[in-house]
A = this chain, B = another copy of it.
């Protein structure tokens, strides 16, 4: 930046003081209409933009939010980011995006960056390997509100917004039962994640409540490839599944790969249902029926929550966005 327009420059040109120019631009009642007009006109001409850094220094309010995700390339987070960015722009905030790569060390480093940039608030999705959230809590105590989202710490008192994990799994299970499917292969993710645990618990609970004797076969997979392998294995067994449930998009892509390789017809040979934000299921034909967990909606909710925190209406709580079944033709 060579020489941007500053208050000083405007003030000199109009033979006014810096404070008068500042107040004129802020429509302060102390300034006469005539002066205001002169100032605003020249400011527009010179394309004056207040130096955000000077403002932050003076006001101690940076108007920047931090956003930490494992990776922006994961299926889910891009829609979350999109929602965040929309809200930020609408409210005059900027976004500083940080990736942890699911690495706790980078996560800590990112927190340092957040402090350095004096962010006014942080949206964080912790890694599965994060053992201590002390650094997060310290930030929160020092006056920087933190909204945990999606992968939230089990820990007691902090602000969280989540997808309705239990509800989504419940809807999926109920759909399966309603469709009278008997031999269910249920593919879940890493069991260390609370999201997996919650979905799994809710899923099996429904079968129990409905007194289903033939309980789903549960498998835990780490990625798409393992999902594919497990699916293949299931079809080699004598008791072939008639339905596959996938806890996430990544798992769905793996299972679908296997289904396509086996040349199975959906829903004739096999039915499928998943939990997803909706992009991936619509790529297939027939489109996969899924329980929607909208990253977009979650982003909106997180932002609203952040604003409430900043406004001081701040008792910690956990909020969820509800889920809805989106019918494809896969079950």
Interfacial residues, chain A to chain B (CB-CB below 8 A)? 1-4, 47, 49-54, 56-57, 60, 62, 71-73, 78-79, 81-82, 85-86, 89, 94-99, 106, 109-110, 112-113, 115-118, 120, 142-144, 253, 256-257, 260-261, 280, 283-285
Contact = CB atoms under 8 A, between A and B. Distances in A.
Contacts of A256: 283
A79 B73 contact: yes
Given A47-B115, A53-B118, A54-B57, 15 more contacts: A1-B60, A1-B120, A1-B142, A1-B143, A4-B115, A51-B57, A51-B116, A51-B118, A52-B116, A53-B53, A72-B81, A85-B98, A89-B106, A89-B109, A261-B285
Contacts of A97: 81, 85, 95, 97
A142 B4 contact: yes
A96 to B, nearest CB: 5
Contacts of A85: 72, 97-99
Nearest to A287: B257
Nearest to A78: B73
B115 A94 contact: no
A193 to B, nearest CB: 22
B62 A72 contact: no
Contact of A142 (B2, B62, B95, B142): B2
A309 to B, nearest CB: 14
Most buried by B among A52, A79, A82: A52
A314 to B, nearest CB: 14
Contacts of A96: 94-96
A53 B56 contact: yes
Nearest to A257: B285
A132 to B, nearest CB: 16
Nearest to A295: B73
Contacts of A142: 1-4
